[in-house]
Amino acid sequence: MIIGTAKETYRADAALLTTRPQQTWTGVLALVLIALPFTLNDYWLYLVCLMTINAVAATGLNILTGFTGLVSLGQAAFMAVGAYTVAWMERDLGTPFPVNLVAGGLVAAGIGIVVGIPSLRVKGLYLAIATIAASFILHFLFVHWEAVTGGNTGINVAPARILGTELVSYFGLYWIIMPITVLMVLGAANLFRTRIGRAFIAIRDRDISAEVLGIPLLRYKLMSFAIASFYAGVAGGLWAYFFRVITPDSFPFMASVFLLAAIIVGGMGTIIGALLGAAFMTLVPELLRFVMDWASPWLPNATVLLSPVRTIVFGLLIIGFLVFEPQGLAEIIQRVRRFFRLWPFRT
Amino acid sequence: MFRMTRRAALGAVAGLTLAAGPALAQEEEIVIGASLPLTGVFAFAGVAIESGLNDYITLLNEEGGIDGKPVRLVYEDTGYKVEQSLAVFNKITSSEDVHFYYGDSTGFAKTIGPEIERSGDMVLAGASFATELNDPEIHPHAFITGPDYSEMVEILLEYIAEESPGATVAMINSDTEFGRDPIERTKAKAEELGLDIVLEIVTAPGAVDVSTEVLKLRRSRPDYAIFHGYVLAPLPEFITQAKELGLETQFMGTFWSMDSKQWADVGEAADGYMGVMPYRYYHDTAEDAPMLDKIREMRGVYQHSGYMQGFLSAMLMTEATKRVMASGEELTGDTLKAALNSIQDFDTGGIIGVPISIPGNSVPVGRVYRFDAAAGEMMPVSDWITLGD
Amino acid sequence: MSDWLFFIEVSLAGLGSGALLALAALAFVLIYKATQVVNLAVGELLMLGGYLFFAFAAGWGLPAWAAVPLAVIGGGLVGAVVERGIIRPMLGESAISVFMVTVGLGSVLIGLVELIWTADPRTLPAFISTKPLFLGEAYVSRKIAVAFAVAAVVIGIFLLLFRFWRGGVALRATATDQAAAYSCGINVPGVFSIAWIVGCATAAGAGILLGAIGGISPTMGVFGLSALVVVIVGGLDSILGALVGGLALGLIQSWTGTYLGGEYTNVVTFGILIVALMIRPYGLFGTHEIERL
């Protein structure tokens, strides 16, 4: 049983990793992430990459919704903005991929600020609905601004290149997707050790109080939108390099719901929550495939049931977590940790 | 985080053991991979396609397969979602030695296109008839079992120009990638044939009420109206309202809205609806169609038009494989595609009523059918029309 | 002259589909007014109503006069189960959480419908005559006219109920102040249940009308998004707002569809939503709530 950790400085208190076991496990995780592409086949590597891209977008959404309290159902539309920017730059300018990714993030951030403007007048549900509206309007642009977006046929994206080699295999792509994700997640974790992050949390807890405390709501709400959209834009850019084609239907409205569901299931307002949620929600449909395969001897038409069962499980996960475990998977992990830490005593 | 990665690692071990499999299996059988939409909005076609693919492969295997090697179809459900479809593709290709893959949607074909070209060891067939796939320059390893969507509409236009030269035509398309696909080529072809496009309607996705569109139709009174981008709804409502208003417009559709059974369910209102169909229907008892007899022997009840698509796809995929193996070459994307293109005046056993050739990525043949409500079946009204003749 | 006739015909069609929107919006308003929950699953409840009617009319072969009430009652039952099962445990949680619960509910309903009836689109057995209707010279599709009449009657009944019926007054009292309503002896949880039952039954009814016009499929729930725009523009807690907003949106969608093209209806609809949110965030007829610390 670990009794506790005494911290002697503010620095130590605000550090990301405070205990020895935390540091050890983080090291193990880093090793696993490096070893992963050497051990997985294409199918699992595909899933890991998809999971990782979703994790970036979910982390962004978590900054906006989990930490600032502004609900958005438009995160996937911002991903699309990033993906289109990257695809357009790759096609018309031919700039190197890191530049494109950053540009994708910045353009998405710009659009995010515009979409965030209604947040000055409306909040809560009304804001969520405004973001739904924004995502439908963006979808219209993607279809009809043919000179840039290629209309309904979309844009084919040339593969990302490093030092003249084209990254086309999942193995190669992993080495740009994973490091960028790690950077983005670390950035998010560090954001909440700064004044800006604390201002976000104050706004979430009660925006009027925050304003009384001297936090300019306008600036910080828009900043939160900008950061969240930047994350979405970069995720969208990675998505574009991963799938190598982007069409208006690549990011349907349900993708936004998926991301919001991911942070609910993972745990709103925690960094690890977005990661767990993105991983969990990406894997569940695949695991259901194995469950259905396994059940096929008893259920004659198991394969035909797969898709509806997935839809139902998706809905049940959202409902179940909100009703029974509002803090999400992150809280379950905390409970498990507490159990081991306090063992043999009970919590 | 740790629990997740451990699960993934377990999966990896499972995957590796599977990956070791194909080296042994390769000697004994030919594997065709497929992403099939067995559930979701496209399930009605996916289920039929699956039966079609499997039935032809069963027939072939009963006759000894290809060079004595049996053919096996490996497929999984995608729910008609591109990401699921990709997951299935990755799962199947990383555990099997696949040289022909059957995809389920245009989105999937476009997404996987670059990967197919890069790996260069397979040809992609599928349920999509998208015009842009029919470009051997951009998609050298893709292939469409039938005319592409633009060619389907062109077949209809040729029929119209033949029947009533100078007729007026309305285009009704859904506001989707599928719906907008043939618009440009339709206009060009109509002008070439001297037909007058008097009305272009694009319906909003999920639009329920079509009465405003019918009003437009009533104003311009076209001789023909061609639907594309729909399966069933809102066509029956369109046709019913137009008939009530005394319009004499002849309504037409393309392959996916041409299933005979689906219109039989609509009933009286469907009478007279026409459209282009690249294959024969299940109930066709033409003399020169031994394959249809075999199909009716295997399946006692009506099969959806998607069944024929799957059946013919399997036939052409295995034929190409047979030709490559006969020449002693290795099975790659290039050799298989060359074998497909070498198919000249090929007898499909009556699935298509004329001998077919595959000059590029498609089989530009079709026939115009008309629904007869009294018989409850689609009846041919034209001969087989081959484009480019 | 003929252009004017065309305009009138288009407008009549717009009013007809607007009435359907108003009916679906009513389902939103009823539930929001009593329980402060925005129920995004209204679109899916609509769909469920259509499928229940399909099951009774096509599956069991019941005549329309029996199948319609049964489907509406079925919708109400689903509402009761949902309220007791997943909405009541969420009492006191933030509005967003409850909103997301209804999003999850929508997904579950879609999955269940696909499981039972598969995803294939289906046509409802005809129970409305297809003979065209002429107002003067102007053509109106009879189904649209019936939808308009039904929606008008239902909304009228609800306006009267809220004004004169005890339950309606109780509902308004609950909407104004829950604690005060409790202390006056109003059974607030009962009011919640009734609001959900009536709201879901209304949605089911609207779904039958919608299905009769355009057929049913698991994706028809997107209609709920248009209805959502109606309630945001009209005011989440105003029945009159639902009526006016529904008719107005129906007209606007019909005009854009005719004069600009079908692909513009969505963008115009959501453009209106954003403008409305910027100008009157609480809706044209909604109550402006003042927030205090």
DSSP run (H or E) holding A20? helix A20-39
Interfacial A residues in 98-157 facing B (CB < 8 Å): 143, 151-154, 156
- Per-residue pLDDT for C1 more than 50? no
- Per-residue pLDDT for B113 more than 70? yes
Mean pLDDT of B242-256: 91
Model confidence over A275-318: pLDDT tens digits? Answer: 999 999 999 988 988 888 888 788 777 767 778 888 899 999 99
The reported pLDDT for the residue numbered B8 is 46
Mutate to test the interface with C, among B78, B208, B218 (most CBs of C within 10 A): B208
Q: How far is CA A20 from CA A4, A25, B211, in A?
A: 12, 9, 70
Chain B: residue nearest C263 by CA? B204
DSSP run (H or E) holding B126? strand B123-126
The reported pLDDT for the residue numbered A63 is 96
pLDDT band at C196 (very low <50, low <70, confident <90, very high): very high
Name the one residue in this structure whose structure tokens are 């202390």: C183
Name the one residue in this structure whose structure tokens are 């009159």: C240
Model confidence over C223-243: pLDDT tens digits? Answer: 888 888 898 888 888 888 899
Per-residue tokens: C237: 């807690």
Name the one residue in this structure whose structure tokens are 């050890």: A24
Domains of chain B: 2-147+289-358 (3.40.50.2300), 149-277+366-386 (3.40.50.2300)
The reported pLDDT for the residue numbered B183 is 92
- How far does the CA of residue B82 sit from the closest CA of chain A (Å)? 8
| 3-class DSSP assignment, residue B32 | strand
**Chains with 3 or more CB pairs closer than 8 angstroms to B?**
A, C
The reported pLDDT for the residue numbered B6 is 43
For A257, which of C103, C105, C114 is closest by C-beta distance?
C103
Model confidence over A65-92: pLDDT tens digits? Answer: 999 999 999 999 999 999 999 999 999 9
Asked if A114 has any chain C CB less than 8 Å from its own CB, the reply is: no
Regarding predicted confidence, which is higher, B210 or A282? A282
| 3-class DSSP assignment, residue A326 | coil
Asked if A11 has any chain C CB less than 8 Å from its own CB, the reply is: no
- Per-residue pLDDT for A345 more than 80? no
Range name among A60-64, A190-194, A298-302, B79-83 with the lowest pLDDT average? A298-302
Mean pLDDT of C147-167: 89
Mean pLDDT of B203-226: 84
User: Which residues of chain C neighbour A130 with C-beta distances below 8 Å?
Assistant: 273-274, 277
pLDDT band at B21 (very low <50, low <70, confident <90, very high): very low
Interfacial B residues in 7-66 facing C (CB < 8 Å): 39-41, 43-44
Q: How far is CA B4 from CA A8, A317, B94, in A?
A: 35, 17, 22
Contact B95, B80 (CB under 8 A): no
Mean pLDDT of C46-54: 94
- Per-residue pLDDT for A62 more than 70? yes
- Per-residue pLDDT for B26 more than 50? no
The reported pLDDT for the residue numbered B389 is 61
Burial class of residue C255 in the structure, from the number of CB atoms within 10 Å of its CB (0-12 exposed, 13-18 middle, 19+ buried): middle
The reported pLDDT for the residue numbered B2 is 39
- Per-residue pLDDT for B27 more than 80? no
Interfacial B residues in 121-140 facing C (CB < 8 Å): none
Range name among A163-167, B23-27, C62-66, C231-235 with the lowest pLDDT average? B23-27
Chain C: residue nearest B80 by CA? C119
- Per-residue pLDDT for B269 more than 90? no
Range name among B196-200, B331-335, B378-382, C173-177 with the lowest pLDDT average? C173-177
- How far does the CA of residue C114 sit from the closest CA of chain A (Å)? 6
DSSP H helix total and E strand total for chain A = 15, 4
**Domain ranges in chain C?**
2-229
For A307, which of B4, B79, B83 is closest by C-beta distance?
B79
DSSP for A149-217? H-GGG-EEPPPEEETTEEE-SHHHHHHHHHHHHHHHHHHHHHHTTSHHHHHHHHHHH-HHHHHHTT--H
- Per-residue pLDDT for B365 more than 70? yes
* Exposure of C210 in the CB half-sphere (CA atoms within 13 A): 36
Model confidence over A90-138: pLDDT tens digits? Answer: 999 989 999 999 999 999 999 999 998 887 777 777 888 889 999 999 9
Distant-in-sequence, close-in-space partners of C4: CB < 8 Å, separation ≥ 6: none
DSSP for B181-250? TTHHHHHHHHHHHT-EEEEEEEEPTT----HHHHHHHHHH--SEEEEES-SSTTHHHHHHHHHHTT--PE
- Check whether the bond before A96 is cis (ω within 30° of 0): no
Asked if B202 has any chain A CB less than 8 Å from its own CB, the reply is: no
Mean pLDDT of B103-121: 88
Model confidence over B87-106: pLDDT tens digits? Answer: 889 889 888 899 999 999 99
pLDDT band at A321 (very low <50, low <70, confident <90, very high): very high
User: Which residues of chain C neighbour B232 with C-beta distances below 8 Å?
Assistant: 121, 123, 215
pLDDT band at C2 (very low <50, low <70, confident <90, very high): low
The reported pLDDT for the residue numbered A162 is 83
Burial class of residue A124 in the structure, from the number of CB atoms within 10 Å of its CB (0-12 exposed, 13-18 middle, 19+ buried): middle
Three-state secondary structure readout of B295-357: HHHHCCCCCCHHHHHHHHHHHHHHHHHHHHHHCCCCCCHHHHHHHHHCCCCECCCCCCCCCEC
Mutate to test the interface with A, among B35, B44, B88, B91 (most CBs of A within 10 A): B91
Mean pLDDT of B341-364: 92
The reported pLDDT for the residue numbered A250 is 87
The reported pLDDT for the residue numbered A286 is 87
- Per-residue pLDDT for B14 more than 50? no
User: Please, what is the average pLDDT of chain B?
Assistant: 87
User: Which residues of chain B neighbour C119 with C-beta distances below 8 Å?
Assistant: 39-41, 43
ipTM above 0.90, yes or no: no
- How far does the CA of residue C148 sit from the closest CA of chain A (Å)? 27
